[in-house]
Amino acid sequence: MNVLTTIAQLREVVKTAKYNRQSIGLVPTMGYLHEGHLTLAAHARSENELVIMSIFVNPTQFGPNEDFESYPRDLPRDTELAKSAGVDYIFAPSVEEMYPHDGGITIRAGRQAHILCGATRPGHFDGVLQVVAKLFNLVQPDRAYFGQKDAQQVAIIQTMVRDYNFPVTIRVVPVIREEDGLAKSSRNIYLSAEERSQAPAIQQGLQLAKRELLESGSVESAISLAKKIIHDNTDGHVDYLMILSYPDLQEVDDQTDQIVVAAAVHIGETRLIDNLIFSLKGEIIHV
């Protein structure tokens, strides 16, 4: 496994791949890899001649009171896991390598970033766009792989790619689930046995909202049914449960085709997120 730590090394790998007309798949991560990341890598492996995984805990997407310093890091373990998933190169730069200058130019997410998870994390998605734009320019991938689990992040990145014409195809990999439908997450281990037995109600609520929306067309009715399922079957507290257009993340109207139903629910001390993305006109968007 080749671990690249400098931009100059990465540029050389990319230049050679481009010269050899190899397709490049990029899997951007913050490391501490879990099954979700490895699924992204497997998709990248199946569609590209060269697979590059970035491992970089990006300081600019953490707020001042967030856990940048304590965010878990384990590059030796990540390297082994990435290798087993077929990754060709890891790009693991230092913060100084990625941000040697600050010329004061910023990329700012717009109204998409003011709701859902963005409501409580001001500036978070600006930092995500900054590092993703840099990675796209450095790796120049044909395809970049993101998990649908972070639907808002994916929506905002897709909007940047669309509106700024980045020459990359965004591949959204579906949420990986436990057998009972609970979205896989590193945080699931924090749940007690009782909480764990309640948690699938989130996904059941989202599914019910989807069915209700497709049948009745009523956003309000879909939301209240989903919330009722979650309230009736868990001791949790719903942080948000929204039905929005995708990827614009605006209120659904007559023109809306693509939909995201997204929820964040506190069950005990653990905050879980999940979502469904689908088309009102019947086509499934991400498979």
Taking the C-alpha atoms of residue 70 and residue 76, their distance in angstroms, rounded to an integer, is 18
Distance CA 106, CA 113 (A): 15
Cβ(33)–Cβ(39) below 8 Å: no
Question: Minimum distance from CB of 115 to a second copy (Å)?
Answer: 12
Is 176 marked as binding a ligand? yes
Q: Identify which range of 133-141, 206-214, 255-263, 265-273 contacts a second copy by CB under 8 A.
A: 133-141
- The site for a second copy, by CB under 8 A, has a size of 35
- 244 touches 258 (CB < 8 A): no
Q: Which two tokens stand for residue 107?
A: 């990329």
> Is 248 an interacting residue with respect to a second copy (CB under 8 A)?
yes
Task: Choose which of 64, 65, 69, 167 interacts with a second copy (CB under 8 A).
Answer: 167
Place of tokens 């993101």: 146
| Token pair recorded at residue 175 | 């949420």
**Closer Cβ to a second copy, 65 or 165, answer by number:** 165
* Among residues 69, 96, 102, 254, the one that binds a second copy under rule CB under 8 A: 102
Q: Which residues contact residue 281 at a Cβ distance below 8 angstroms, ignoring those fewer than 6 apart?
A: 257
Q: Binding a second copy by CB under 8 A: which of 1, 18, 63, 73? A: 18
| Closest by Cα among 237, 246, 183, 184 to 213 | 246
CB atoms within 10 A of CB 195: 18
246 binding a second copy? (CB under 8 A): no
Contact flag: residue 109 with a second copy (CB under 8 A)? yes
43 is an active site residue: no
184 is in an annotated binding site: yes
Spatial contact of 272 and 200, defined as CB atoms under 8 Å apart: no
Q: Which of 34, 73, 108, 228 binds a second copy (CB under 8 A)?
A: 108
User: Is residue 281 near a second copy by the rule CB under 8 A?
Assistant: no
| CA distance linking residue 80 with residue 5, whole number of Å | 16
Which residues here bind a second copy, judged by CB under 8 A?
7, 11, 18-19, 21, 101-112, 129-130, 133-134, 137-138, 140, 156, 159-160, 162-167, 247-248
Residues tagged active-site: 37
The binding site for ATP consists of 30-37, 147-150, 176, 184-187
